[in-house]
Structure 1
Amino acid sequence: MREERYVAVYIMTSQRLGTLYIGATGYLNRRIWQHREGLVPGFTKKYGLKRLVWYEPHDDMVSAFQRERSLKRWPRQWKINLIERENPYWDDLYDSLI
């Protein structure tokens, strides 16, 4: 079975108002699964960030990387506001992907 490409920018956390991680990927399902399983060394594994709380689809990786870089420069409160507009309870959105 061939995995479907889904280009997106996403935000992971461990809990509501917890540490935030912003990333971009061409295969959202696979990448979030990798984070949840602890297969991605680095920030998300170190801080136990396994909850997908926000994502935004993009047409291509260039626009996704640009948006990722932009969001990473935002103040923390702006990122929280972005999440809470679409996901006010900080639910884990991973199950809605598969």
Structure 2
Amino acid sequence: MTERITFQHHWARLHRWAHQLGFGGHFSTKSRRYSTTLGALRAARRNWNRPESEESPTEAVEPGDEPDILTLGQLHFAGIGWHTSADAQLANTAAAQARERRQAAHEEMTQ
């Protein structure tokens, strides 16, 4: 005898693949009481972008007429790995403790 698959049972298996979407729910799943509407977001975006679009079109910059550049900060390469073996040991100990706590919580939830 063939088993009739209900709608809920049929789509329940897709939960295994939901992590591939990058988020836990739908982008517009929100409470109107604690959030804003998509129409209000669109209006705010339209108002924000409007001044930029009403400006005159950008003119071609001739050589030597480049605008001044203001540098606010600087990034530099600091290195890879741990500076000392003690730093590595602390990081490994913290990771092991986190794994143990996660495993203990998982075991407690399944009991």
Q: How would you bin the TM-score normalised by the shorter chain?
A: under 0.3
Scaled by the length of structure 2, the TM-score of the pair is 0.16
Scaled by the length of structure 1, the TM-score of the pair is 0.17
More strand by share: 1
Give the structure with higher Rg (CA): 2
Higher relative contact order (CA 8 A, sep 6+): 1
